[in-house]
A and B are shown apart, each in its own frame.
Chain A
């Protein structure tokens, strides 16, 4: 398989724990300490109730595909040509929130909406900041 290409996430202080957890192979979502709801993406306050007492919850990593697209154009230039076509997905996590991710694996081209997927954390190298692991998804074995 080709080396994966991605742009670095450039985290803030509020989002760094999300990306640091990915490096450990864990998917953490922010959870409000007041209303108890999970949300995505990480912020310094809960967008559902406004409270700032937040924690993190480890997600199961299981989800379903809400929508998907196979990308045939390198919108950020020639460095991406070798990635084409690749698959972008909207994943509904089993615990609720929806996120944008990338579907990888040999059968990504056959994906259908509603398919079960699970998170994987491939390593991606960057020239200056070293290696990071991103929460991409693969179709679940039974899919």
Chain B
């Protein structure tokens, strides 16, 4: 995709508390996140004329953009709900908002996702509350392939076989994100994790253990976009979207390209080319981490590590705070919360503004955010830059 190339900026971010939010509904959580982002940007609710959201996975809800608009009390010119999967939807929402603002059809757009995936489902239910259809059921469910852990386990086993990697490579990702979460007051996981803890956690779907898997969370995150000159507090705070790259290659795991051909490589190449940059220009890596394996293949697809060397890179300390490319300083989906990747973006903005407190990455000018939906079915890579 060509460079965004416009003066549209992320002018405000909003996050709710994460973890358990009993008594909160999905629309209430999304509204709270939007209001927080508007306040952060210095806008009034009545300034909002663009609204893009993702409906809750645990309790799917059609027409959720109008549900949210009504609940907020706004009547936007541009509103839509997008769902391209997991943690890449946030990037697609941003892309839609940029295009809507560039076209002149709206001026102030909010992108939001949030739900009560943890407390809003029946006691004892495994996975999602509803049986969300993903399209491949006929060729997966008769064979016992249910949900998203098993496809990622198949990917992880392929990675181990292809490169001779070990569980220490997977564990390194879980350990660094946990170290970072300990510096985030708004994180679900607040206890240190050791390699022994990782190895003692139960197998879910081999080779993936419980501590290879992301969290189930309540919470929400929102972004407010506008033109740089339009933001009340834009000067010095608006974060530029330098490039967004996307690639869709398949839906179900049987049709997933082998690891070197995953769409993340094409998405990353698009983004880096459009921005005229490479991994050497990046100081923060907020990478999709629904499972530990996701980070290893993403690091390699984006050129941060050579094929098969992602685990060694993480174990070297390069992805810890103070290293070359700190990974998910907020703790990510693995140890902060799984809010569909929205908090990967809000964290990148906070870091680039220099407002991340004790987990601030010194001298951070650019962040790379990755996301993917399904089993690397839809891949996205985005480069954000300090004002």
Binding site for B on A (CB under 8 A): 6-12, 15, 40-41, 66-77, 80, 83, 86, 88, 90, 98-102, 113-114, 134, 136
Contacts and interface: CB of A to CB of B under 8 A. Distances in A.
A99 B253 CA distance: 9
Contacts of A83: 144
Nearest to A124: B142
B213 to A, nearest CB: 10
Contacts of A75: 126-127, 146-147, 149-150
B204 interface: yes
Contact of B154 (A72, A88, A102): A88
B145 to A, nearest CB: 5
Given A75-B149, A80-B144, 5 more contacts: A67-B155, A69-B208, A73-B126, A88-B143, A90-B253
29 contacts: A6-B144, A7-B141, A7-B142, A11-B138, A67-B154, A67-B157, A67-B161, A69-B153, A69-B208, A70-B206, A71-B144, A72-B202, A72-B205, A72-B206, A73-B149, A75-B127, A75-B146, A75-B150, A76-B146, A86-B144, A88-B143, A88-B145, A88-B153, A88-B154, A99-B254, A100-B143, A100-B252, A113-B161, A134-B142
Interface in B159-201: 161
A68 B205 CA distance: 10
Contacts of B203: 70, 72
Interface centre among A83, A101, A114 (most CB of B within 10 A): A101
A10 B150 contact: no
A134 B143 contact: yes
Contacts of B138: 9-12, 15, 41
A78 B255 CA distance: 30
Given A75-B127, A77-B126, A101-B143, A113 B157 contact: yes
Interface string B211-240: 000000000000000000000000000000
B71 interface: no
B150 A88 contact: yes
Contacts of B202: 72
Interface residues of B, number: 32
Contacts of A15: 138
A101 B139 CA distance: 8
A61 B138 CA distance: 19
Interface in B1-36: none
B309 interface: no
A68 B154 contact: yes
Interface centre among A12, A15, A75 (most CB of B within 10 A): A75
Q: Which 4 A-B pairs have the closest CB atoms?
A: A69-B153, A75-B146, A67-B158, A75-B147
A55 to B, nearest CB: 20
Given A66-B158, A76-B126, A71 B150 contact: yes
A77 to B, nearest CB: 7
A102 B254 CA distance: 13
A69 B152 CA distance: 9
A136 B143 contact: yes
B273 interface: no
Nearest to A68: B157
Nearest to B158: A67
B205 A71 contact: yes
